[in-house]
Amino acid sequence: MGYLAVSCDKESQRIGRRDIAVAWRGTVAPSEWFSDMKASLEQIGEGGVKVESGFHSIYTSKSESTLSASEQVMEEVERLLEFFKERGEEVSLTVTGHSLGGALALLSAYDAASSLPDLDHISVISFGAPRVGNVSFRDKMSEMGVKVLRVVVKQDIVPKLPGIIFNKILNQLHALTRGLKWVYRHVGTELKLDMSLSPYLKREFDLLGFHNLEVYLHLTDGFHDTQSKFRWNARRDVALVNKFSDMLIEELRIPENWFQVPNKGLVFNRHGRWVKPCRDQEDIPSPSGEAPSHDFTAKNMLAHNKLQV
C-alpha cells in the first residue's frame, strides 16, 4: 500500500534533520472503492475526534497472519526514530499520498503525533485527498502541530467528498456549524490548481482525468504562484500525463493510456498457463484471510478443461 524511506546523510545535512518519508498509494481494488464511499464517522480519540469509517477500516484492518497498515508503518517509524535519536539527530516525518493515499497520510500523521512525541516535526502533503474527519479531528491535528498542505485541482470532485452537497451548504454557515462534530472538515492549507492554466491539457469534461495523479503532478510542476500562468520552464515530461489517461491535446501526438506492463500483467505459471498474479498479501488493505491462489493444480486444470468442453 505504500513505501517508507529515509533521507540520506547528504540530504539530511542540507535540510538540517533526518527525514522519514512515508508515501501511500491511491485506490486500486474494488473493495477499496467500496470503503472509500462509506460516509459515516467513527470516533478514534478523545474530545469527539472522528474520522470517516471506510478510510479508518482500510488503515486498521488486519488478519491473523497480517498486521494492519497502521501497525506496519508505525512500527517502522518508531524503530527508525529510536535509531536516529540515539545518534543525537533531529528527526522529522513527512507523509504523502494521492486520493485514498492522502486520507491514509492524514491518519498516519495523526497516529504519529499521538504516539511518538519525540518526532520533531510532522508534515503531510496530499494530492486530491478527500475529507477525512470532523472539526475535532482538524483541531486536534492543528493542536498537535501537524502541518498539512492539500494540493487540489479545481475541477476534481474527490476533494469535495464526502458530503459534496451537504457539507457545501454547512460550510457557508460556518459560524453556526463549526462546533458540530458530525460535519466533515478539511485539514491544513489548500493549494488549488486549475486545469485551464495548462496549455497542454484538453478542456473536455473528464472526472477520472481531473483526478489523475499525473495531471496533479503536471499542474504542480507548472505552478508558480496564484497570479501567474503555467510555468514555461516546467521540467516534468508532459507525456507522463497520458500514462494512464487521455488528457493531453491532440497536437502533442502522445497516445492515450500509453503505459503497458509486460504481457498486460499476465504471468506464466508452472503449469504452462498465462494467469493474473495474486496481489501480495501485504498489499491487501482489508485482509480477510489468505489470498486465493491462481497457480492451479493439475487436477483443478483438468476439471476446468472439462467444464469448457
Catalytic machinery residues: 99, 156, 211
Q: Give the number of residues written for the chain.
A: 309
HSE of 164, CA atoms in CB hemisphere, 13 A: 8
Q: Which uninterrupted H or E stretch holds 92?
A: strand 91-98
In the three-class reduction of DSSP (H, G, I as helix; E, B as strand; rest coil), residue 42 is classed as: strand
Q: Which uninterrupted H or E stretch holds 176?
A: helix 174-177
Q: DSSP assignment of 98-127, as one string?
A: ETHHHHHHHHHHHHHHHH-TT-SEEEEEEE
End-to-end CA distance of the chain: 40
Cα(53)–Cα(289) distance, integer angstroms:
21
Residue with cell 495531471: 215
